Structure 1
């Protein structure tokens, strides 16, 4: 390797090495290099330097085989965002990641596609984690959403459909994993607001349908689970308040110092307090669903606010009629949810079981046999009729011949 090359190029070349040991060593050096360079007051990375680093990381993932190692590598690469020591460099690192994926996506073969889907999921997850570590500041949320929309869903981004659609499918799921327990309904509406605007204005009908299905219909489908989680949290808070009020009333009943000293000597009262503390902690946690059909954490939304926002955007002038019709249907569903009316699940009645399919297939076979039988009988009757006609006509001819012969003889 030439000594005159920039350190970013050297690291990128080593990250794309054939040997897994060399790639792992280069990745460790890259973490130290990022941390050291961004700690300086005048230090940092340029846009081109980070593009070179991401090209090396892209081919580092490209060269990695075996699913478990791919998962570990994807986790390590996505965690690099936290090694940057300033927000500007972190933002630029995420921006160059999406630019790299857009540039290289069409060259990925089907055998390597899954690991890059996984890498996108992990980087998006850590992007939300970064905002979470900054306390969900509004400025940080705006900065992240602006970058994501610009690099992925904006018409000028030239992002492949595979990147766009995968991003939309992951958006709510990864946001819920990171912030379901902390984000409020207003903050969640802020996160999906750019997607609402794109769904209203985009001239790409396929993209509009994907946003409607991947974002709005997902929220509607998860509404019962979101309400269930909310009720569980309210009950947990109510029980926790009862526990604290019970403790206060006990302390007030004891009153004097002498009573408190006797309480210290009484192990039963101490055990009671410890049990109360444990119960309070357990209730405050408000455990999530642990059923076999668990869909994971769910975001809370104000359905009426979502409906109003979508109606406001779709009722503006110069909105394509296709977009308006799609959004109006979704608005009605959100308005019904705000009134407590959940969508009916009729499709389950249309799905037939294997027994039904067998029964229908037997009926069809029986009908076919009956038709074939009727057809054969019909053919037989036609033949017999034709035969009878032929016999009758033959008999008539013979009669005519006999009559002629008699006349001649006479």
Structure 2
């Protein structure tokens, strides 16, 4: 990330709301989160630069947070911040998350990795929830698909998002589609939900042809997940083929009664 597009760790830690979000005092954390939510909801627009600065600060807030329960709560709270945004702020906010985390990912220490793995899962789920709330269609739904295409499942740009982060997204995308009910809605005949799930699946499918072997394999495995609507269809096709083959086999072997 360019220097002009980010704040340093020291600068981020000096932001009052960042320090307070990472505080061991639950009341202070709650008050700070409420202030941040109020600030974000009042914005009519949000520049990519401002969004990246904020997410850099939030990254360090989670980085400084100790103990599993506060970490889990903060990861969920940060993911849910998008729900209070004006429509014009959603796309830059989501894109800034992937931009910042993609830059920071290679520098996350092993002991801190679990909370960021959880953050990615919660944020991806929040993306899907936005689409669900819009009835799986409309401008916001298209913006979310665009964010997925650019930051999560881009088969062309290997440098934009760290490999480890992209692999983790491939590990969780089906889980979060299922968690938010998108897969169930698609299977139950909601055509808009079906179209959305298929769009995400098509993005994953493009990674089967990317130059990185680990991404190709992970994409292929996750795209074939048995929970997905097209996997169910493929299983039915295979059963039909097996039945046709069995019937044909019996016919070939039958030679009538011996005289």
Shorter-normalised TM-score: what interval?
0.7 to 0.9
Counterpart in 2 of 1:249?
none
8 Å Cα contact 2:145/2:199 also seen in 1? no
Relative contact order: is structure 1 or structure 2 higher (C-alpha 8 Å, sep ≥ 6)?
2
Name the SS for the 1:37 alignment partner. coil
Please state if 1:177 is matched with 2:106: no
How far off its partner does 1:147 sit? 1.4
Counterpart in 2 of 1:388?
none
Partner deviation per Cα, 1:188-208 (whole Å, 9 max, x = no partner): 3232011112323x1222211
Structure 2 distance, partners of 1:303, 1:75, is 32
Any gaps of 5 or more consecutive residues in structure 2? 1-10, 243-259
Counterpart in 2 of 1:14?
16
Distance verdict in 2 for CA 1:89–1:12, change over 3 Å: farther
Counterpart in 2 of 1:46?
47
TM-score, normalised with respect to structure 2: 0.75
How far off its partner does 1:82 sit? 0.7
Please state if 1:100 is matched with 2:138: no
Name the SS for the 1:111 alignment partner. helix
Distance verdict in 2 for CA 1:215–1:45, change over 3 Å: same
Alignment of 1:8-407 (within 5 A): 13-17=15-19, 19-21=23-25, 23-38=29-44, 44-86=45-87, 88-137=88-137, 139-154=139-154, 155-156=156-157, 157-178=159-180, 179-184=182-187, 186-187=194-195, 188-200=197-209, 202-216=210-224, 218=225, 222=226, 298-301=227-230, 334=234, 337-340=236-239
Structure 2 distance, partners of 1:94, 1:78, is 10
8 Å Cα contact 1:50/1:96 also seen in 2? yes
Distance verdict in 2 for CA 1:210–1:10, change over 3 Å: closer
8 Å Cα contact 1:16/1:60 also seen in 2? yes
How far off its partner does 1:27 sit? 2.4
Counterpart in 2 of 1:276?
none
Name the SS for the 1:149 alignment partner. helix
Distance verdict in 2 for CA 1:37–1:139, change over 3 Å: closer
Partner deviation per Cα, 1:100-125 (whole Å, 9 max, x = no partner): 10111111101110000000000111
8 Å Cα contact 2:13/2:61 also seen in 1? no
Name the SS for the 1:26 alignment partner. helix
Distance verdict in 2 for CA 1:158–1:146, change over 3 Å: same
Counterpart in 2 of 1:279?
none
8 Å Cα contact 1:16/1:59 also seen in 2? yes
Structure (1 or 2) with the larger CA radius of gyration: 1
Structure 1 distance, partners of 2:84, 2:93, is 11
Any gaps of 5 or more consecutive residues in structure 1? 1-8, 39-43, 223-297, 305-333, 344-410
Structure 2 distance, partners of 1:303, 1:168, is 20
Counterpart in 2 of 1:277?
none
RMSD between aligned alpha carbons? 2.6
